[in-house]
A = this chain, B = another copy of it.
Amino acid sequence: MKKIRLKNKQIDYPILIGSNIYKDIGLICKKYLEKNRVFIVCDNVVYDLYKKVLQNSFKKANIECIFIAITVSEKKKNIITVASLSSKIISHGVDRKDTIVAFGGGILGDIVGFTASIILRGLNYIQIPTTLLSQVDSSVGGKTGVNNIYGKNLLGSFYQPRLVVIDTNVLKTLPRRELLAGYAEIIKYGIIKDAKFFDWLQINGKKVIDGNTNARIYAIHRSCINKSQIVEADEKEHGARALLNLGHTFGHAIESLNNYKKDIIHGEAVSIGITIAAKLSYVEGYIDKKTYYKIENHFNDIGLQISLPKNLKKITAKKFVSEMIKDKKTVNKEITLILIEKLGKAFIHKKYSHSKLLKLFKEITS
């Protein structure tokens, strides 16, 4: 089992990465609990598949476990779901020594992390991400949150888990489409700060998608190391953490304008968003043509979408720009973008010109 320690003055917790470790999950979690009871909040999909193995493992470790299975979706990722989940947990007589376990994908982790952060002003919680996307991105770093009618993740908190446990075995039951969506966030680390990793992905990316355990562990481990370093330096996103947002300002606008329908899931929107950011970085002269195509080709090779789907091409450029203004990085209506300086280095571009964005969207919409 590989271990990363995310540590700075305020934070200190481990990220454990292995294969086929759910059978020992009770013992793994035990030393991070304050008493022998956990509330496992899980997505209905994984609940059916893994309830038994989790239950047996916690039982073996003498830990009482209360399961709460919920159905999640980007549309249900709102404060009403947080309110009802909180009430379910509190109804069991939760106290300050209890631990909440988030067992599921990124949407579930965001909801459960936020819920854990507000019950009794903050309970101990553990992330066990079950999708590639949540394993390499959302489970690490303590960003929690839900959507609001005005935009994505507008309500939430910075709240760090006590432990993150990643089992690559769970990816065997994950649909290929979800794997690809998660892979978009893996490429992101290569582009923003780890050129060697990008090179490795060019050679080994298909193995990661196709199920090679060692390749998956390597890719997840390296992604989590990159993310940890950024979070350690800037937990609350006063600066460098914004780099992790490469492609996301575009991606969030795409998801929102598509009404969070499931024909474009988060990682797919991010994939399109990153290639738009790469294009813009090329058009602006920050990266050369070769680098731009190197990036775009890798998305293409791996099977990720790089252009807007038909239905979104009909949306006006103006609508895209006003959607992007809602981004959390926006200050005084001025859009902040993450652009690419070279492969392995991104930077924060504040006050990006609205008219340039309008021009860009006029080109890529029809």
Cβ < 8 Å to B, chain A residues 245-289 = none
A96-B331, A332-B35 known; A121+B148 contact, CB < 8 A = no
Check if A83 sits within 8 Å of B80, measured CB to CB. yes
Contacts of A151 in B (CB 8 A): 90
Contact B157–A143 (Cβ < 8 Å) = no
Copies of this chain: 2
User: Does A306 sit at the interface, judged by CB under 8 A?
Assistant: no
Q: Which residue of B lies closest to A78 (CB)?
A: B83
Q: Which residues of B contact A158 (CB under 8 A)?
A: 121-122
With a cutoff of 8 Å between Cβ atoms, the chain B residues found around residue A330 in the complex are 95
In whole Å, how far is A78's beta carbon from the nearest beta carbon of chain B? 8
- A332 near B87: Cβ-Cβ < 8 Å: no
Closest B-chain residue to A90, C-beta based? B150
State whether A156 touches B121 (Cβ < 8 A). Answer: yes
Decide: A149 and B79 in contact? CB cutoff 8 A. no
B118-A156 in contact (CB<8A) = yes
A120-B328, A121-B156, A158-B122 known; A83 and B91 CB under 8 Å? no
- Bound CA–CA A150/B156 (angstroms): 22
Does A104 belong to the interface (CB within 8 Å)?
Answer: no
Residue A101 lies at the interface, judged by CB distance under 8 Å to chain B: no
Contacts of A297 in B (CB 8 A): none
**98-140 of chain A: CB within 8 A of chain B:** 114, 117-122
Q: Mark A312-342, 1 if CB is under 8 A from B, else 0.
A: 0000000000000100111111000000000
A143 touches B121 (CB 8 A): yes
Determine which of B120, B149, B325, B332 lies in contact with A97 in the assembled complex, contact meaning CB atoms within 8 Å.
Answer: B332
Given A86-B148, A148-B87, the answer on whether A154 and B97 have CB atoms closer than 8 Å is no
| Residue A93, interface by CB 8 Å | yes
Q: Is the Cβ of B79 less than 8 Å from the Cβ of A154? A: no
Q: For A96, list chain B residues within 8 Å (CB).
A: 328-329, 331
Q: Is the CB of A90 within 8 A of B148?
A: yes
Q: Which residues of B contact A119 (CB under 8 A)?
A: 154-155
Chain B CB within 8 A of A18 CB: no
CA distance A118 to B86 in the complex (A): 16
CA distance A35 to B121 in the complex (A): 29
Task: Determine if A145 is an interface residue (Cβ-Cβ < 8 Å).
Answer: yes
A201: CB under 8 A from chain B?
no
Contact status of A157 and B155, CB under 8 A, knowing A90-B148, A121-B145, A150-B91: no
A334 smallest CB distance to B (angstroms): 9
Q: CB distance B148 to A117 under 8 Å?
A: no
20 A-B pairs with CB atoms under 8 Å apart are A10-B10, A35-B331, A35-B332, A79-B86, A80-B83, A83-B155, A87-B149, A90-B150, A93-B325, A95-B330, A95-B331, A95-B332, A96-B329, A96-B331, A97-B331, A97-B332, A118-B156, A119-B155, A121-B143, A121-B328
